[in-house]
């Protein structure tokens, strides 16, 4: 019994020593964290490293790795890119300290930062944890890789012969141009060869420094845009859209060469062209962008629709004239319609693609 009692008290003593040692170390670690937080809390979103009246210089760079999709319907594009920006903070200079680490990592709320964000992001995925890397001289760098959707209003009036400018808009959520000077870093800006997107030629243009005006606050925010110039390839639309539509229009044109007295072919041919055109138009309606204004393709489709229905109406009219014994008049109308139809088709092409 005495042995069991002695073992019990010995066990309690060991547990007490372990707890005491752990609490001491925990208090030391907590004290170190509090000291570290106190040391840098004056930087965290409170004051810039430069005095009032002198904007803080921040260099920004974006390296485009790939552009995988441009969606005309949702007016978005999907990109894979590195986002990097740098600035200098003399308050983080530790070159005079002993055993100073070459690189220090700080969380986003531990030191002052320009609070940059991508304005037109919609669904971006980041790959790495967010940290600021600071060297011994106080030079700070943030880098992150993003992949996902970004929005960009598209001007589709020249669709499908259009070129678009798709920007990545970087702005500060807090500071205006008088407090923050954004510039692009040539060494950190560029693109990786050719992109995997089909149907477009994409090239990075020179970034532009601008401003973002907040009407509800009545002030400007510092902003810089990294625009991608995108030229659409037209070969697909010629093969899949323009040539088939033109053939349907010419199929309806053949009715003017049929004898007006041949009721079956005279009515059957343009009717078949009309139904073919309606089905084809329904199919391309699922591909074309849903916008409120007319594009060049829309002009062509509307003009072609008018011509096909005009051929059907002319065929009905000449057939009725032939049945009333006015075949000569019907044939003369057909002769005039042959050239008028082609002339109108040429006018549709000019209006759609050249004006």
User: Under 8 Å CB-to-CB from 41, ≥6 apart: which residues?
Assistant: none
56-232 sits in which CATH class? mainly beta
Beta strand residue intervals within 32-138, DSSP E = 56-71, 76-88, 103-106, 116-118, 121-126, 132-135
Question: What is the C-alpha separation between 177 and 170, in angstroms, rounded?
Answer: 13
| DSSP annotation string for 278-338 | HHHHHHHHTTS---SS--HHHHHHHHHHHHHHHHHHHHHHHHHHHHTT-HHHHHHHHHHHH
CATH for 235-353, options being 3.40.50.1980, 2.60.40.10, 1.20.58.390, 3.40.190.10: 1.20.58.390
The reported pLDDT for the residue numbered 291 is 82
The reported pLDDT for the residue numbered 22 is 43
Q: State whether residue 161 is helix, strand or coil.
A: coil
**Strands 139-151 vs 200-204: parallel, antiparallel or unpaired:** unpaired
The reported pLDDT for the residue numbered 106 is 95
The reported pLDDT for the residue numbered 262 is 87
Please report the sign of the dihedral spanned by the C-alpha atoms of residue 103, residue 104, residue 105, residue 109.
Answer: negative
The reported pLDDT for the residue numbered 86 is 97
| Residue-wise burial string across 68-90, b where 16 or more C-beta atoms lie within 10 A, e elsewhere | eebebeebbbbbbbbbbbbbbbe
The reported pLDDT for the residue numbered 16 is 45
The reported pLDDT for the residue numbered 247 is 92
Question: Can you say whether residue 181 is alpha, beta or left, with left for phi > 0 and alpha for psi between -120 and 50 degrees?
Answer: beta
Alpha helices (H) along the chain = 2-40, 235-237, 243-253, 263-285, 296-323, 327-353
**Claim: this prediction has a pTM higher than 0.75:** yes
Q: Which of 108, 163, 102 is nearest to 136 (CA)?
A: 102
The reported pLDDT for the residue numbered 292 is 82
Give the pLDDT means over successive 10-residue stretches in the chain (355 positions). Answer: 48 44 39 42 67 94 96 92 96 90 93 95 94 96 97 92 95 93 93 91 94 79 96 91 91 92 86 86 75 88 92 92 92 95 96 92
Whole-angstrom distance between the N-terminal and C-terminal Cα of the chain? Answer: 108
The reported pLDDT for the residue numbered 223 is 96
């Amino acid at each position: 019994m005495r042995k069991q009692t002695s073992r019990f008290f010995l066990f309690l003593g060991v547990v007490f020593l372990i707890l005491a040692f752990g609490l001491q170390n925990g208090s030391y670690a907590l004290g170190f964290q509090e000291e570290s937080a106190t040391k840098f809390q004056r930087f965290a979103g409170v004051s810039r490293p430069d005095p009032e009246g002198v904007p803080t210089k921040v260099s920004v760079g974006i390296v485009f790795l790939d552009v995988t999709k441009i969606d005309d319907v949702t007016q978005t594009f999907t990109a894979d890119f590195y986002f990097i920006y740098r600035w200098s903070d003399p308050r983080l200079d530790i070159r005079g300290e002993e055993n100073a680490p070459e690189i220090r990592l700080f969380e986003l709320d531990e030191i002052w930062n320009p609070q940059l964000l991508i304005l037109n992001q919609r669904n971006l995925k980041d790959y790495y944890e967010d940290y600021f890397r600071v060297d011994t001289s106080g030079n700070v760098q943030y880098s992150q890789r993003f992949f996902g959707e970004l929005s960009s209003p598209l001007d589709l009036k020249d669709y499908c012969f259009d070129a678009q400018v798709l920007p990545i808009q970087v702005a500060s959520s807090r500071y205006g141009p008088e407090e923050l000077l954004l510039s692009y870093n040539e060494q950190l800006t560029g693109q990786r060869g050719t992109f995997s997107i089909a149907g477009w030629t994409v090239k990075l243009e020179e970034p532009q420094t601008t401003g973002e005006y907040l009407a509800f606050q009545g002030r400007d925010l510092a902003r810089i845009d990294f625009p991608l110039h995108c030229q659409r390839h037209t070969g697909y639309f010629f093969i899949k859209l323009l040539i088939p539509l033109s053939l349907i229009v010419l199929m309806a044109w053949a009715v003017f060469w049929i004898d007006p007295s041949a009721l079956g072919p005279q009515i059957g041919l343009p009717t078949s062209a009309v139904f073919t055109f309606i089905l084809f138009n329904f199919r391309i309606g699922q591909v074309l962008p849903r916008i409120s204004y007319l594009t060049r393709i829309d002009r062509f489709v509307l003009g072609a629709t008018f011509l096909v229905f005009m051929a059907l109406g002319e065929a009905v009219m000449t057939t009725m004239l032939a049945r009333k014994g006015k075949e000569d008049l019907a044939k003369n109308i057909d002769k005039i319609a042959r050239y008028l139809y082609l002339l109108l088709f040429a006018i549709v092409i000019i209006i759609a693609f050249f004006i």
